[in-house]
Structure 1
Amino acid sequence: MGSILVGVDGSEPCLRAVECAAREAVYRAGGLTLMTVYEVGLADSASRWPSDLLEREAVAAADVAGAYVREHWPDLDVDVRVVTGSPAEELLRHGREFDVIVVGSRGRGGFPGMRIGSVAYQVAAHAPGYVLVVGEEGSAPEASGIVVGVDGSRHADCAVVAALRTASYHGDRVCAVWAWSPPVFSSSGLGPWARVDEEMSETQGAALDAVLARHLSDFPDVEVVRRVVRGQPTNALIDAAAGARMIAVGARGTRGFARLALGGVAHALLHHAPCPVLVAHRV
């Protein structure tokens, strides 16, 4: 069983997130909590919006989302929370109680053309566990398969477990993608390039197998397809994700700066992935 928390603000991307969250809750045989956050401090800003108006708008957004879920998933256990504070901070604070936090990639704020808003990015970067970021296109009901990026890092291990666990709920398969780039050799060379590439590919494939072997015994019913790709990780994952239910990725990989909450691949996927992105911070 798995409980789901989804942020609600009345926007169209939010409705796509609610749809995705409701389907996840059904598959996981868990409950769904809809949470709307409004900032009372805005009443003291230049806009001078009365706090009671902000509260009414928040309640209305939650009610609309709740009615939508109850209409389409009448057997789903749905709870509604309306709280005050910073949307990102409250989602992160309440999210400790849940297995997955779901957010729309953008809310009512931001600029046209933005792929991800500040709230979604902050939650994806700092959540205590799993965060599912749903773009404006949502996730098609007929979509299938979980794509996961693997690079041998601790964070990627978290993503592998997240992908296998999610696939087990859905009765889905996992496509594990390991992308690699060849070393830069000097002009003296180290033998025929084709042979070097072949040996490197075999080595990278063995590394992928070693990572998967640590977790497959816990999910014996999940089919796993291995894909070793010579190329850039983000491009390899996006290519593999055509028609997929979601992409699972660790918050950070083996490269980059240790202090960054999100690594380059996770950052790029949040902006360019063709399907929802599950960011894993822990197993």
Structure 2
Amino acid sequence: MRSILVGVDGSDAGLRAAECAAREAVCRGIGLTLMTVYDGDLTVSVSRWPSDLLEREAVAAAEAAAAHVRERWPELDLDVRVVDGSPAAELLRHAQDFDVVVVGRRGRGGFPGMRIGSVAYQVAAHAPGYALVVGEEGMDPDRTEVVVGVDGSRHADRALLAALRTAELHGDRVRAVWAWSAPVFAEAGIGPWGRVEEEMEEEQNEALSAVLARRLLDFPDVEVVRQVVRSQPMAALLDAAGDARMIVVGARGARGFARLALGGVAHALLHHAPCPVLVAHQD
């Protein structure tokens, strides 16, 4: 990993994102870049504002976040950037040079009651690599489990790799969750469902073992808990994430539509997960 990019905007959410990103950067021995983006075109429609007001506010927000981070992690290699443009577009454009882009779930804008802001959602949906979205609860450094959704898809395989790497660095345990659903005929009570259920559950366990076998040889010291659950993926992952430090999920799962930037499971986790969500896009 080359470095971590985090978007800050003067909000508490931005500071929580910066703290989370700083911990990861220190643990990985890499640098951290704080970026504040302001839209200078907004001053065109508000003629009474000084033309440089937004820029000055952006610089102040970036400097405050940098001071906050330096006070807690003085050894961190820290870079600060202030950029004019659309916040989501600029974060995504600069994210090409970083492996992970980190944002708060909601920034200074948006409407009361919104679970996730438009910038965070766009970054999570379109990041070129990994996007980490940090909610109001921040990241609890005392928790020692990383939950990852596994379903055999390419996105999920990249999520599994990220979960294993993160766990290896932090000394965490990985909980690999494989969710499956019964066929329609079984839910309708048609046929010898008891025997079929046992066979299907065995098949699901074998499928999870096969997926993990491709990755675990490279992470012999990481403890992995295998959890096969007859449930919808969203519900299974939310249940598993109650005590997690982080949850990792593919941008789309095995059943997702190719044209969708984010599948339903990732979408739901971004809104409801009780811990930061790392979204993995395929290579």
The whole-number CA distance in structure 1 between the counterparts of 2:48 and 2:228 is 56
SS of alignment partner, residue 15 of structure 1: helix
SS of alignment partner, residue 176 of structure 2: strand
Is the CA contact (8 Å cut-off) linking 1:124 and 1:131 kept in structure 2?
yes
Q: Structure 2 vs 1, CA of residues 178 and 47 (structure 1 numbering), >3 Å: closer, same or farther?
A: farther
What is the one-letter code of the residue matched to 1:106?
Answer: R
Is the CA contact (8 Å cut-off) linking 2:13 and 2:105 kept in structure 1?
yes
- 2:77 aligns to what? 77
- Aligned-pair distance for 1:46? 4.3
- Aligned-pair distance for 1:249? 0.3
- 2:37 aligns to what? 37
SS of alignment partner, residue 241 of structure 1: helix
- 1:121 aligns to what? 121
The whole-number CA distance in structure 2 between the counterparts of 1:250 and 1:123 is 14
The whole-number CA distance in structure 1 between the counterparts of 2:64 and 2:221 is 38
The whole-number CA distance in structure 1 between the counterparts of 2:120 and 2:51 is 24
Q: Structure 2 vs 1, CA of residues 108 and 188 (structure 1 numbering), >3 Å: closer, same or farther?
A: closer
SS of alignment partner, residue 248 of structure 1: strand
- 2:172 aligns to what? 172
- 2:184 aligns to what? 184
Identical pairs, percent: 76
The whole-number CA distance in structure 2 between the counterparts of 1:256 and 1:124 is 16
- Aligned-pair distance for 1:2? 4.5
Name stretches of at least 5 consecutive residues in structure 1 with no aligned partner: none
SS of alignment partner, residue 22 of structure 1: helix
Name stretches of at least 5 consecutive residues in structure 2 with no aligned partner: none
3-12 or 218-227: bigger deviation: 218-227
What is the one-letter code of the residue matched to 2:117?
Answer: G
SS of alignment partner, residue 167 of structure 2: helix
SS of alignment partner, residue 242 of structure 1: helix
**Aligned pairs (5 A) from 1:23-172:** 23-46=23-46, 49-172=49-172
SS of alignment partner, residue 201 of structure 1: helix
What is the one-letter code of the residue matched to 1:178?
Answer: W
The whole-number CA distance in structure 2 between the counterparts of 1:276 and 1:2 is 21
- Aligned-pair distance for 1:263? 0.2
The whole-number CA distance in structure 2 between the counterparts of 1:143 and 1:278 is 16
What is the one-letter code of the residue matched to 1:10?
Answer: G
Is the CA contact (8 Å cut-off) linking 2:104 and 2:135 kept in structure 1?
yes
SS of alignment partner, residue 88 of structure 2: helix
